[in-house]
Amino acid sequence: MTWKNNCPPPTMAAGDQRHGFNVLRVEQIEDIRVTAYEMEHVNTGTKVLHLHCDDPENLYAIGFRTPPTDSTGVPHILEHSVLAGSEKFPLKDAFNELLKGSLQTFINAFTYPDKTIYPVASQVRNDFFNLARVYTDLVLRPRLLKESFYQEGHHLEFTDPDNPESELTISGIVYNEMKGAYSSPDTLMFKAIQESLFPDNTYAHDSGGNPEVIPSLTYEQFKAFHRSYYSPSNARIFLYGDITTEDHLQFLAEMLSGFGKTAVDSLIVSQEKREKPDYLRGAYPLGKEETAVRKTTVNSAWMLAENTDIETALLLKIACAMLVGSSAGPLRKALIDSHLGEDLSPVTGLEADFKQMVFAVGLRGTEPDEAPRIEALIQETLQKIYTDGFDPELVEGTIHQVEFHGKEISRTSMPYGIILMGGAYHTWLYGGDPLAGLNFPLAIRQVRKRLADNPAVFQRMIKSWLIDNRHRVLSILEPSSTLIEERETVFRQKMTDLKASLSAQELEKIRTDAVALRRFQTEPDTPEAAATLPRLKISELSREADKIPTEKSLLQGVPVLRHDIFTNGIAYLDMAFDVSDVLEDLQPFLPILGKLTTSMGAAGLDYEAMAKRIALKAGGLSCHLASANNAAGDGNWQKMIFQVKALYRNVDEAVKILTDILTAGDLSQQDRMYDLIAARKNGLHASIVPSGHIFAKRTAAAALSLPACRDEQWHGRTQLGFMNGIARTGKGGHSDLAEKLDRLRRMVFRLDRLTLNMTADQEGLATLSQATAALLSQLPGRGAGDAPSTARPAALSYFVPIHRGIAIPTEVSYVAKAFKAPGYADPRAASLLVASRLLSNGYLYKHIRVQGGAYGGMCQYDPASGLFAFLSYRDPHIVETLQVYRNAQTFMTGSRPTREELEKAIIGTIGALDRPMDPSTRGYVAMIRDFAGLDDAARSSLRRKILAMEEAHLGDDISHYLVEAAASGIVAVYGEENRLRVANAALTGNSLNLESLV
């Protein structure tokens, strides 16, 4: 992908009429290189915004205002169900078929508190219009079959489906998804705040669905909600990319023909301001073995101004970022330094996904009776800031961050267009200017002017919107080790009562309905239905793998890779230090070393001063660890990678900051050190419930390959246990942590371990090279210093290959099974990539998600870590899921894919390989490939093998592999303790070793 540094010339003007659309406004925003067109469809009133630019990753998103009036989750269940099929595309699961066989770079749907958005993106024009065509039809004319409602929403069934004597239970994909969400403390805190601040409008309800309320939703209410809100008159369509506005309008005119204007009452009423602060106390589930001491979170939250009050909204965004956005933020600092809690509440910051914005801040790792002191501290600190004002450097640093992040082309898990889309809907949905949030240069000019007119403008914001604003809440969320059991007891009683109240006929109907649903789910689509979906041909795919410009050379003897890529005026520098010979007992310290190096003081400055310096001159400074096998299968690499990014004008200063932290980092401030450790420990702990499948995979895989072992040591449950230990022993001052870290950094931060990686255009590369040369002259060189061990570590022996069940407090489980797998050079790599896709979107999707009711079921083949893994996410089953995995292992032997299925999988696999990357990621990935010795010729050869894949070939390879790998398969299940015990009773001979989380 390439970007250029200019807006496309306008092709129409305000007042024009094209294809039945009125052009309302045309505006260019130079810094993000777009020409924006705001339009309206005359016949239906559909509003359209196109950001025309030269990005080939085009995005189409249709969004509706969908304010709920209850917590049945009807907007969310609808979001899942409309994508099943329409009259024109009468499939059982059109979404999954699109996912399988298109070059989509993004396909999803989002339920927000008041809107539902359906975005798709692709880099290939024909594919893009295919996707947009199907999506629009599905959304506007869905079939909404009863079966979809049962499957996605909720339905009753017997725990043993064929046996009416067994217990009744409720199943449904959204139902299980939300059970997972209601086990996460962060989600629960956020919901509590939302309900308290908005008691009188639509936000009093949970659009996602409260698991206790979801079962009360009827099929009729579900259909009625679609009729009310999914009309073109209530739609806002967001378009982004290099396809012309003209072509989009022509396409949309066709899509909207046949629809007229309808009156839709979807107005979101503002919450009236109240004069009395609210107080809340709630609970979240805690693991039985975990201590409840210092596990409470306390939050203050305020309702702020309307999103559409653009000037106030902008000033508030900056004011809130100054308060808590960096380590130099005075409110963040006061809370952390108070030690009333361990780290900042994850529900901290400004939230703009409501009509009236919300600001929240608080502490995690505290006790309920600290709440009044925490609240008082917040108020006192705000008062002090109001009186004394903000540090001018902090003001400048925060404005610099707005500029930097406005300018940066960033595409991580989502297209860049999605980021712009989010900003547009924040104002557009409420009748405001959709471009207000995107035009950051204008915003910065306005802020500077306001600041010049009134230097106390931010203090005034704080006074009126925080200090004097009594529309706020103090929310306490405490741990409960009995909550899950209580919920389950109530649920079982409900089911028992329900069953007792039903006649034999009614019970029989539940059984036959469930059987019918299962039959519906197992029957494949007819060939005629399948043929309705437009699809690319394999011949339309490019044969060659995308190449990333890379020039290799030496800078003062250090290997350097330079990537000449357009970056919109931002320079990216990666510094990768080899850590493969770091002794085993020091390996778990590496993540903390990275965290502390980037977040403590340096070169005579304390951490606050350093944080200010970073905010002023860098767009970000971070460190992470990465490891993978070599492509040839002859070893592996392990690196500690520092990354810094800066506007060209700040490169010198940014590299100096990096030099200071690497050569003159200050590890002496014990308090700060343990605050950071607590924050990392709590963050890791909180990420387990939302990413349980990843943790389960790490646990299962740890004994299978060295990169997997490192992943577990650095990022998994093992790291969490290690952090807990350090946090426990640390603060007394008896620890030798600082000493160990000092030894480690003297060993690691050296020239002879270093590879440099630079990404920018020619101008930026020259600046970077110059700045970096100065850095190198200060790093210790070869020879001297602590000599690392020369013996290769026996890391794998750290993890015993046994099946494990890890107890975590959640109502749904995460089931992983991992196997050793070959690397890139193996002739079967291409088959395994395609086969894992076929299984994920086919067999596993069907059995674990559609029939099992789990939120997700998939497999992954990762040649870089030498792993193949089956995973499930928010899964109501354990034993059944493991049986599905076993069946999947032999499924491909008996059931060869049809040519059509295979072609879809090939297209999907190529689509995944061609996933677009933002400029910094392209440079980074080129470096990773270099470490692994994966060259363009090998990538192109793999690609050609995928494109030429044949049915027999694929079946033989995967069957052969899975038979061979079966012996290495290791299971790890993260789930609730009782469920693990019940599962173990059924898993005779293969039982799980039950362990507590830490």
Query: Nearer Cβ to Zn ion, position 28 or 108?
Result: 108
Residue 693 contacts residue 872 (beta carbons within 8 Å): yes
Query: Nearer Cβ to Zn ion, position 55 or 177?
Result: 177
Taking the complex as a whole, how short is the minimal distance between the CB of residue 420 and Zn ion, in angstroms? 23
* Closest-CA residue to 438 (of 612, 240, 252): 240
Taking the complex as a whole, how short is the minimal distance between the CB of residue 76 and Zn ion, in angstroms? 6
Taking the complex as a whole, how short is the minimal distance between the CB of residue 73 and Zn ion, in angstroms? 9
Angle between helix 392-407 and helix 607-617 axes, rounded to 10 deg? 40
Q: How far is CA 545 from CA 30, 548, 834, 914, in A?
A: 32, 10, 16, 8
Taking the complex as a whole, how short is the minimal distance between the CB of residue 901 and Zn ion, in angstroms? 26
Binding pattern to Zn ion, positions 764-803, x when CB under 5 A? ----------------------------------------
Distance CA 189, CA 201 (A): 19
First to last CA, the chain: 44
Q: How far is CA 855 from CA 110, 177, 363, 371, in A?
A: 15, 5, 31, 36
Taking the complex as a whole, how short is the minimal distance between the CB of residue 855 and Zn ion, in angstroms? 7
Taking the complex as a whole, how short is the minimal distance between the CB of residue 177 and Zn ion, in angstroms? 5
Taking the complex as a whole, how short is the minimal distance between the CB of residue 231 and Zn ion, in angstroms? 23
Distance CA 890, CA 116 (A): 40
Backbone angles phi, psi at 487, to 5 degrees: -60, -40
Backbone angles phi, psi at 560, to 5 degrees: -135, 135
Taking the complex as a whole, how short is the minimal distance between the CB of residue 135 and Zn ion, in angstroms? 17
Taking the complex as a whole, how short is the minimal distance between the CB of residue 209 and Zn ion, in angstroms? 9
Give the 3-state DSSP-derived string for 755-794, with helices as H, strands as E and coil as C: EEEEEECHHHHHHHHHHHHHHHCCCCCCCCCCCCCCCCCC
Query: Nearer Cβ to Zn ion, position 177 or 342?
Result: 177
Query: Nearer Cβ to Zn ion, position 177 or 675?
Result: 177
| DSSP code at position 749 | S
- Interacting residues of 998 by C-beta distance below 8 A, sequence separation 6+: 290, 717, 720, 721, 724
Query: Nearer Cβ to Zn ion, position 177 or 370?
Result: 177
> Hey, CA dihedral for 383, 386, 387, 393, is it positive or negative?
positive
Distance CA 369, CA 829 (A): 57
Other Cβ atoms less than 10 A from the Cβ of 143: the count is: 20
By residue count, the chain amounts to 998
Query: Nearer Cβ to Zn ion, position 176 or 297?
Result: 176
Taking the complex as a whole, how short is the minimal distance between the CB of residue 152 and Zn ion, in angstroms? 8
Strand-strand pairing, 551-555 and 349-351: unpaired
Query: Nearer Cβ to Zn ion, position 142 or 707?
Result: 142
Strand-strand pairing, 867-873 and 636-647: unpaired
Taking the complex as a whole, how short is the minimal distance between the CB of residue 521 and Zn ion, in angstroms? 18
Taking the complex as a whole, how short is the minimal distance between the CB of residue 888 and Zn ion, in angstroms? 24
Question: Count of residues binding Zn ion (CB under 5 A)?
Answer: 1
Query: Nearer Cβ to Zn ion, position 210 or 556?
Result: 210
Distance CA 39, CA 36 (A): 10
Query: Nearer Cβ to Zn ion, position 177 or 278?
Result: 177
Query: Nearer Cβ to Zn ion, position 180 or 241?
Result: 180
Other Cβ atoms less than 10 A from the Cβ of 551: the count is: 11
Taking the complex as a whole, how short is the minimal distance between the CB of residue 96 and Zn ion, in angstroms? 14
Distance CA 480, CA 188 (A): 13
Give the 3-state DSSP-derived string for 346-387, with helices as H, strands as E and coil as C: CCCEEECCCCEEEEEEEEEEECHHHHHHHHHHHHHHHHHHHH
Residue 815 contacts residue 881 (beta carbons within 8 Å): yes
Give the 3-state secondary structure percentages of the chain, helix then strand then coil, rounded to 5: 50, 20, 30
By three-state DSSP, how is residue 688 classified? coil
Query: Nearer Cβ to Zn ion, position 177 or 930?
Result: 177
By three-state DSSP, how is residue 618 classified? coil
Tokens 């969310």: give the residue.
76
Taking the complex as a whole, how short is the minimal distance between the CB of residue 116 and Zn ion, in angstroms? 11
**Position closest to Zn ion via CB:** 177
Query: Nearer Cβ to Zn ion, position 693 or 939?
Result: 693
Residue 517 contacts residue 150 (beta carbons within 8 Å): yes
Binding pattern to Zn ion, positions 175-214, x when CB under 5 A? --x-------------------------------------
Query: Nearer Cβ to Zn ion, position 177 or 862?
Result: 177
Query: Nearer Cβ to Zn ion, position 97 or 177?
Result: 177
> Dihedral of the CA atoms 313, 316, 322, 325 (nearest 10)?
-60
Query: Nearer Cβ to Zn ion, position 93 or 177?
Result: 177
Taking the complex as a whole, how short is the minimal distance between the CB of residue 768 and Zn ion, in angstroms? 43
Taking the complex as a whole, how short is the minimal distance between the CB of residue 848 and Zn ion, in angstroms? 15
Query: Nearer Cβ to Zn ion, position 175 or 458?
Result: 175
Taking the complex as a whole, how short is the minimal distance between the CB of residue 134 and Zn ion, in angstroms? 20
Taking the complex as a whole, how short is the minimal distance between the CB of residue 74 and Zn ion, in angstroms? 13
Q: Is 242 exposed, middle or buried (0-12, 13-18, 19+ CB in 10 A)?
A: middle
Angle CA 876–715–600, to nearest 5: 135
Binding pattern to Zn ion, positions 141-180, x when CB under 5 A? ------------------------------------x---
Query: Nearer Cβ to Zn ion, position 177 or 666?
Result: 177
Q: Report DSSP letters for 925-993, one per residue.
A: HHHHHHHHT--HHHHHHHHHHHHT--HHHHHHHHHHHHHHHGGG-EEEEEE-HHHHHHHHHH-TTS--E
According to CB under 5 A, which residues from 504 to 533 bind Zn ion?
A: none
Query: Nearer Cβ to Zn ion, position 416 or 855?
Result: 855
Distance CA 836, CA 944 (A): 18
Contact set with Zn ion (CB under 5 A): 177
